[in-house]
Amino acid sequence: MFMTKEPENEKINNPRATVRLPMLLGITLAAGVLIGATFFGGGKSLNNIGRGYSKFKEVLQLIENNYVDSVNTEELVDYSISKMLEKLDPHTTYMNPQDAVAARTQLEGGFDGIGVEFNIYKDTVYVVTPMAGGPSEHAGILSGDKIIKVDNTEMTGSKLDNALVFKMLRGKKGTEVKLAILRKGEKKPLTFTVRRDRIPTYSVDASYMIDDKTGYIKVNRFSETTYDEFKKALALLKEQGMSQLLLDLRNNPGGYMDKATSLADEFISGDKLLVYTDGKDDRYDRQTKARIAGQFEDGPLIVLVDEGSASASEIVAGALQDHDRALIVGRRSFGKGLVQMPVTLSDGSELRLTISRYYTPSGRSIQKPYTAGHGEDYEKELEARSKNGEYYVADSIKNNEKYKFKTTGGRPVFGAGGITPDVFVPRDTMFMTKYLIQLFNKNIVREQAMEYANDHRKQLEKDGFASYKKSFVITDAMLKRLTDDATAQGIKFNEAEFKRSKKYIQTQLKAYIAQNVWRKSHRDGLNNEFFEMLSENDETYRKALTLFPQARNLERGSYTSQK
């Protein structure tokens, strides 16, 4: 969702993936603050609110005192609020205190815990890697360790899930947790006492040089630390000779508006408009303009987007597109252009109330159409794009001429439905099979990669990543071991589907092996080796690398549209 935290510090946030939009992965939510009663306005509206409140209170008291069965009135209140908000737009939402706390942590700069990346495999918690410099690494936890007990709670069995692992491993900084560990080569469990600490989270996934002039940066969300991470990454790439940049915002669901506009400001010169908002109450109407001398205001720039790019990501892409500063490549973005005010209620629950719309510099609202009270239709819009062929054929994107605008250089752009890319790249789904989905649901690919990395770590580290990237091959023997393991886990082998997915499985295995071996060398959270390996089978990435001449022409004002 696009959200404001304080009037002078606007923020954006994305749709609720797990509740509202299951097709969006890893959706994040912004932090809220207490807003006083004056937020709700004057006398007439207060009278209306008062009458409605009295009626609701009366009904609730009748249920509590007279209903035939015992009821949980708190659950009834939460349900009533949620149902009431369904009559509004799709992004006005309510969360109970527990969900509100969990959601806010997504965009904070870190959390308190023991600092491990874990994987659940065969109903067991495996340590993928202890985070560099974190409590677990200091305590001696190793990649491949099995966590079988946390304090007095067993961490095995069919009831094991991510929620339980988070509950047991996270906790207040300074508190201790006792782990029972099974380690390869040890006959008996080992016991470790780990003191929880603040674990930083990162939003820049990768930052590396593709060649001697082309840089690549991937941003997964816009959190508290995003702009600082991005500035550091950009500066380091420039030191390495970068003269053109590929910025990857695919599957970035949004986050804080001020971080998004600050990032855009690194590319846009002068005091050009970046975004503006407009609502019923003019207190929430404001303009955000470029204000600094950015690090990369000159040079070809390409931005990757797709249907998972929402909210703050669309702010960045829209500003750069409207000012003809970047070539937008990929597929049409999500289409989230509503602004929410987060209101923390007295019990810690949170209301996120839509208060305005935001517009790109050309005047576009990129909010896709919706009908109040018809949330199910809104949720199915991404599915409808797939059925209409939009993910596969550029001409399937149907922009409404009514919402046609022009960029600074006179190019046509469209609103009311996300950011339409300048160059369309279809989604590749040929590799997607039921067999592949089962492999990932059981975490078999990641587990096989971790086992191989642990068994061959010394040799791989000795050879170095450059050699690994150029020469390492996922052999048929390695794939046979994977499919045998899958069969043992109850996944019936399907030869035809395996052949369709084989290249993708090989790419994923090679990427995860690289991640297991080299990620710990990055103390700034970067996962460069993983994304470098994925890029070998990434059609959008590969296509974008051929488009820098067009990006250069766009920057010079001589761009000719190409599909």
List own/partner pairs for 101-106 with CB under 8 A and 24 or more apart.
101/348, 103/28, 103/29, 103/350, 104/29, 104/30, 104/31, 104/32, 106/28, 106/29, 106/221, 106/223
What are the angstrom distances between the C-alpha of 295 and each of 119, 269, 299?
Answer: 38, 10, 10
- Residue (of 419, 425, 422, 427) closest to 300 by Cα position: 422
Contact 241, 213 (CB under 8 A): yes
Please state, in angstroms and rounded to a whole number, the distance separating the CA atoms of residues 314 and 558. 24
Active site residue 322: yes
Residue 302 dihedral angles phi and psi, to the nearest 5°: -125, 135
**539: how many CB neighbours lie within 10 A of its CB?**
11
485 SS3 class: helix
214 SS3 class: strand
What are the angstrom distances between the C-alpha of 467 and each of 114, 210, 517?
Answer: 33, 15, 13
Residue 326 has what DSSP assignment?
S
Active site residue 538: no
Please state, in angstroms and rounded to a whole number, the distance separating the CA atoms of residues 13 and 29. 5
Q: Burial letters for 355-387: b for 16+ Cβ neighbours within 10 Å, e otherwise? A: bbbbbbbbebbbbbebeeeebeebbebbeebee
Number of H helices, E strands in the chain: 18, 23
**139: how many CB neighbours lie within 10 A of its CB?**
16
Please state, in angstroms and rounded to a whole number, the distance separating the CA atoms of residues 404 and 424. 18
Residue type, 316: V
Active site residue 492: no
* Residue linked to tokens 């091959």: 473
- Pick the catalytic residue: 136, 207, 311, 535? 311
Please state, in angstroms and rounded to a whole number, the distance separating the CA atoms of residues 261 and 4. 14
Angle between helices 444-463 and 495-518 (to 10 degrees): 50
Contact 212, 267 (CB under 8 A): no
Would you mind telling me the total number of residues written for the chain in this entry?
Answer: 563
- Pick the catalytic residue: 99, 145, 205, 322? 322
The structure tokens listed for 371 are: 């009908």
The structure tokens listed for 524 are: 């700034």
544 SS3 class: helix
Contact 356, 277 (CB under 8 A): yes
Beta carbons within 8 Å of 110's beta carbon, 6+ residues apart:
198, 199, 200, 201
- Pick the catalytic residue: 146, 259, 336, 510? 336
- Residues annotated as catalytic (active site), given as ranges: 311, 322, 336
